[in-house]
């Protein structure tokens, strides 16, 4: 049953932190996987889930760097995995499935932003390959464990950056049009939102519900490809180059940025709901395609028909599906 894209009653808002959202939840006996879970918003998500008793597995390209980021956090473990390498994803999933554990929460958090043009080993543009296709493959590989949970949630990190571009189904791989690194980022974030719709449509019958999330404008390592000129023009940076914190205007700390991911993972307010784009610890309001607002969800990121079209494309590109 399709959930309306409309706000719900919520005890939290743009100023809430992940620690506030998780308070009172008991996740003992629950298992979570958080990609990118050793840095930035992902690290705060991991910390929150662990604080409630969950066992959190963090897949990481650089295990040593992830270990330093987690700092020996009890309840979190690290496994090697590279999101642009299908064999690495398959190996990670095989190791996880071999434990026969259910997977109660999958947070597809890792990503890159505004990267210069590069392609993975299959020739796929790196931002779509990392942000969407890698997570599509991971979710498909872990589907048996999600089903085994008999009540799992999948959280896909999207962004208000989806406003920059819908998925271009005619040239998603930038083979005919000039490469635009911000447009490619926007396309990948629209794909993340549509992916949550696709997962939810296939998972609801198995107790799997999915949500996409805009964490907020947060200065993390995600900004490493931004030029000095782009930073100077961005409201996220002050004149001194330091991050601006103003949750009312979409600019948050990492603790506040992780709050919506955690809310989507655990909140009882979302019981019976799924497939919606969320922000500020609530379901976001739809906004017109031309809206200048740095919030809300655009029409092309919440269209079930486009979600099905993306799912079909993703199956073709990865050779994977779910059942």
CA-wise closest residue to 190 among 201, 202, 182: 182
Cα→Cα distances 169→116, 190, 191, Å: 21, 12, 11
Residue 185 annotated as catalytic: yes
Residue keyed to tokens 């490809």: 225
The count of other CB atoms within 10 Å of the CB of residue 151 is: 13
Residue keyed to tokens 């001194």: 240
**Per this entry, what is the length of the chain?**
323
Alpha-carbon span 272 to 108, nearest angstrom: 21
Alpha-carbon span 45 to 248, nearest angstrom: 21
Alpha-carbon span 61 to 106, nearest angstrom: 17
DSSP reduced 3-state for 206:
helix
The single residue of 124, 179, 185, 277 carrying the catalytic annotation is 185
Torsion of CA 235, 241, 245, 250, to 10 degrees: 30
Catalytic residues: 185
């Amino acid at each position: 049953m399709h959930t309306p894209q409309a706000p719900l009653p919520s005890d939290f808002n743009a100023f809430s932190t992940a620690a506030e959202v998780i308070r009172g939840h008991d996740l003992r006996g629950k298992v979570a996987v958080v990609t990118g879970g050793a840095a930035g918003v992902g690290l705060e998500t991991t910390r929150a889930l662990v604080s409630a008793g969950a066992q959190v597995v963090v897949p990481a390209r650089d295990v040593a760097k992830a270990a330093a980021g987690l700092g020996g956090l009890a309840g979190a473990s690290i496994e090697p995995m590279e999101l642009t390498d299908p064999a690495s994803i398959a190996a990670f999933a095989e190791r996880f499935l071999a434990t026969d554990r259910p997977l109660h929460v999958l947070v597809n958090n890792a990503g890159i932003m505004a990267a210069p043009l590069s392609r993975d080993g299959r020739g796929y543009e790196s931002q779509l390959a990392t942000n969407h296709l890698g997570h599509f493959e991971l979710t498909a590989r872990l589907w048996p464990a999600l089903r085994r949970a008999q009540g799992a949630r999948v959280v896909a990190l999207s962004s208000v950056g989806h406003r920059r571009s819908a998925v271009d189904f005619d040239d998603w791989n930038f083979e005919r049009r000039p490469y635009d690194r911000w447009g490619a980022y926007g396309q990948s974030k629209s794909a993340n939102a549509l992916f949550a719709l696709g997962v939810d449509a296939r998972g609801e019958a198995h107790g799997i519900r999915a949500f996409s999330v805009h964490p907020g404008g947060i200065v993390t390592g995600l900004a490493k490809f931004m030029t000095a000129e782009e930073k100077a023009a961005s409201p996220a940076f002050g004149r001194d180059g330091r991050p601006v914190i103003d949750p009312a205007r979409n600019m948050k700390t990492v603790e506040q940025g992780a709050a919506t991911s955690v809310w989507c993972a655990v909140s009882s307010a979302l019981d019976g709901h799924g497939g919606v784009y969320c922000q500020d610890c609530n379901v976001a309001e739809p906004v017109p395609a031309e809206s200048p607002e740095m919030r809300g969800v655009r029409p092309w990121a919440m269209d079930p028909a486009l979600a099905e079209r993306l799912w079909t494309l993703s199956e073709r590109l990865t050779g994977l599906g779910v059942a």
